[in-house]
Structure 1
Amino acid sequence: MKDLMGQAIWDYFKNENPEDLQTETSISELDELPVEYLFRDFSDMNEIEQKALALSFGKVLDIGAGAGSHSLYIQNEKMLDVTALDISKKSNEVCTLRGIKNAVCEDMMTFSAHTYDTILLLMNGTGIFQSLDKIDLYLTKLHSLLNENGQILIDSTDILYMFDTDDDGAVIIPATGYYGELDYIVHYKGESENPIKWLYLDFNTLQNAAICNGFDIELVLQDEDSYLAKLTKAKI
């Protein structure tokens, strides 16, 4: 399995002729993603990311850590115990080389080392759920990783705005499936990965799924069509 995102992160960190990543989805055209964006400082992060990092407390699990920018801030500026978790071996190695003390290369669905006070899923954290029919599996796993008084901070975007409208202003969306279920493709240095399933969720859909899986949920921050949500274990 190719790991083009991880390779780009590695090339940039090692200064080995890095190039911009290119991404596309089943409803959007090719778009440039500068690799340096994945190495940004706190001051260059968006409001949702900054809010999530500010709210983080206790033992932290950063799922989909990538180049480790969120974990580095939590470790070095907030002085918290953080685990940077990513399925990419190259990304994981860069996290370690950047000074993250606890970087783990593993799928979150098989990871079970500890439980955590804060679990972060940022940069469209709902993407890893893949599709609506897998949300319960992932939320059940997240529930098992969370301490009783802990929190999950997760962001996403309602992508309804990306679809056309008819003459009456009604949004034209696919007749089958949920409109936030996309195929996501990464290109780098002339190579392409196979499409992966990637899920964008509107807040109401996430809210319903969270409640059905034993969570209370709060809308922490709304930024146009994107939002940050906080999930906590529902009190019996």
Structure 2
Amino acid sequence: MKDVLGQAIYDHHTKNSHGKLWIHNTYGPKEAMPIDAYFREEDDMPDLEWLALNECRGRVLDVGAGAGSHALQLQERGFEVKAIDISPLAVKVMQERGVKNADTQDIFTYGGEQFDTILLLMNGIGLAGDIKNLNKLLAIFKNMLAKGGQLLFDSSDIAYLYDGNLPADKYYGEITYQYEYKDQKTQWFNWLYIDEHKLTEVALSASFITEVLYEDEFKQYLVRLTTA
């Protein structure tokens, strides 16, 4: 897949951003994604992300770390953080911004280390793509957690997109997207949004206990998963 998102992040970092990052979807018109959202300082982060950073403990793995904003905040607080992203250009940006341990990795093939906290923000758990892969991803995370470790991530219930007409052939939170930037497009890719009830069910089947730490009026929520 073309590193379209990584290019947008890199251009913004190098002050060479003259294009919009568009997100195409299968449920409505394309939407512009503000690239500066990946470069937020702590004061610009929503309450959900503040809480997630405050709940981190021990050695932290930041998955899908983007431009490294969360990793940088954790470093400033004295945490040992490893930040990974599948985008080589995003990782380059993280390194140039001062993330001490940033690496280009695919979480589905990454392993060999253990962490006290695995962090996935900005709906990072969505990289599972669908419910089947979420089960696979949770199994991977289970092997990567140190004793007493935790997963911290956010997601949201997107049933409102369907006006009551939920799809019958799949879970309604399984969405397909495509990035576009400067006339370059990725292939279409799957992304997952999962409601609290479904998450609790899937997590339990993987022997995780779900604790909802925060929920807003838009049904976006932050959870902690720990092993049962």
TM-score scaled by length of structure 2: 0.97
Cα distance in 1 for residues equivalent to 2:196 and 2:24: 23
TM-score scaled by length of structure 1: 0.93
**Over residues 85-137 of structure 1, what are the superposed CA-to-partner deviations in whole Å (9 max), with x where a residue is unaligned?**
10100001111111101001010122124101111011112211111122211
2:125 aligned residue: 126
2:186 aligned residue: 193
**Contact 2:8–2:17 (8 Å) recurs in 1:** no
Question: Are 2:199 and 1:206 aligned?
Answer: yes
**Contact 1:156–1:227 (8 Å) recurs in 2:** yes
1:158 aligned residue: 157
| Amino acid aligned to 2:117 | T
| Amino acid aligned to 1:47 | D
**Contact 1:8–1:18 (8 Å) recurs in 2:** no
2:7 aligned residue: 7
Paired residues for 1:159-178 under 5 Å: 159-164=158-163, 171-178=164-171
Q: Which runs of 5+ in 1 are unaligned?
A: 165-170
| Amino acid aligned to 1:118 | T
| Amino acid aligned to 1:29 | P
Specify the SS of the correspondent of 2:65. Answer: coil
Please provide the CA RMSD for this pair. 1.0
Equivalent of 2:220 in 217, 220, 226: 226
Specify the SS of the correspondent of 2:116. Answer: strand
Question: Are 2:145 and 1:146 aligned?
Answer: yes
How many residue pairs get aligned? The number is 227
**Contact 1:23–1:30 (8 Å) recurs in 2:** yes
Specify the SS of the correspondent of 1:16. Answer: coil
**Over residues 125-167 of structure 1, what are the superposed CA-to-partner deviations in whole Å (9 max), with x where a residue is unaligned?**
2211111122211100010111111110011010001112xxx
Q: CA shift at 1:47, angstroms?
A: 1.3
Q: CA shift at 1:17, angstroms?
A: 3.3
Specify the SS of the correspondent of 1:229. Answer: strand
Q: After the TM superposition, which parts of structure 1 deviate over 4 Å for at least 4 consecutive aligned residues?
A: none
2:134 aligned residue: 135
Q: CA shift at 1:192, angstroms?
A: 1.3
| Amino acid aligned to 2:152 | L
